[in-house]
Amino acid sequence: GENVEQHPSTLSVQEGDSAVIKCTYSDSASNYFPWYKQELGKRPQLIIDIRSNVGEKKDQRIAVTLNKTAKHFSLHITETQPEDSAVYFCAASKMGYSTLTFGKGTMLLVSP
Amino acid sequence: KAGVTQTPRYLIKTRGQQVTLSCSPISGHRSVSWYQQTPGQGLQFLFEYFSETQRNKGNFPGRFSGRQFSNSRSEMNVSTLELGDSALYLCASGLQGYQEKLFFGSGTQLSVL
């Protein structure tokens, strides 16, 4: 089955810095890659997603890039703010399957 | 529009008992997925239901089961509880369930003593 590896497990940055979280997947049939943010004690929420026919997608300070050949995708957060502090999960799924395979998460800490 | 509602929020059980968790999806959503969240393993897929049919199942033992009702509400059941079943159980709803934004509930925190 699909396996998603996520790095780093923790990431500490200063407010205003950029943060990058990387994920690799094993199943070349995977074609949908969402990112979820989970604040402490709260439910996961989708922040951005990308499909395999697109190499990059941006939404304000957040961007995701996808390299299908290398089977990895990354989340980029620019101008980080303390409210960006949370656990971020990447995930992958393939056409026709409702299963999301998640990475183990990255705890991002943004210091003021 | 009301969000995804999970009940109860907390449960404490002892080994060997069974438990039933409930999930009410967003109105109009027909897909309900269940995930187990633990600190060591992250989010792991249990199963997904669409229009009362189980479409996909994760790698969990048969002690974990679920069902979906005609109003799209879903329940999951865990029988013969083990200590390792202690986790946050999250459900997520979606219109179709495939490669779309999922809306998660707040989860049920299960502790097995």
Nearest chain A Cα to B42, which residue? Answer: A104
pLDDT digits 0-9 by tens, A61-98 = 999 999 999 999 999 999 999 999 999 999 999 887 88
| Residues of B whose CB is below 8 A from A95 | 98-99
Question: Tokens 């989970």 label which residue?
Answer: A38
Q: What digits encode the pLDDT tens for the residues B24-39?
A: 999 999 999 999 999 8
Decide if pLDDT at A18 tops 80.
Answer: yes
Please give the Cα distance from B63 to A68 (Å, whole number). Answer: 37
Interface of A with B (CB under 8 A): 1, 31-32, 34, 36, 42-46, 49, 51, 89, 91, 93, 95-105
Minimum Cα–Cα distance from B41: chain A residue: A104
Q: pLDDT value at position B31?
A: 95
What is the pLDDT confidence band of residue B41, given thresholds at 50, 70 and 90?
A: confident
What residues in A contact B97, CB-CB < 8 Å? 98
Q: Test A100 with B105 for CB contact under 8 angstroms.
A: no
Q: Which residues of B touch A102 (CB under 8 A)?
A: 35, 42-45
Mean pLDDT of B84-98: 94
Torsions phi, psi of B32, nearest 5? -130, 125
CA distance A89 to B3: 21
Identify from B98, B106, B108 which residue to disrupt to test chain A contact, counting A C-beta atoms within 10 A and taking the largest count: B98
Per-residue burial over A30-51, b = 16 or more CB atoms within 10 Å of its CB, e = otherwise: bbbbbbbbbeeeebbebbbbbe
CA angle B52, A48, A90 (to 5 degrees): 75
Q: What is the pLDDT of residue A96?
A: 79
- Contact indicator for B29, B23 with CB cutoff of 8 Å: no
Nearest to A99 among B41, B56, B105 (CB): B56
Tell me the percentage of chain B whose pLDDT exceeds 70.
Answer: 99
- Partner-chain residue, chosen from B48, B59, B104, that has the shortest CB–CB distance to A43: B104
Q: Are strands B10-13 and B108-112 parallel, antiparallel or unpaired?
A: parallel
Helices marked H in chain B: none
Residue B1 predicted with pLDDT over 80: no
- C-beta of residue A89 within 8 angstroms of C-beta of residue A6: yes
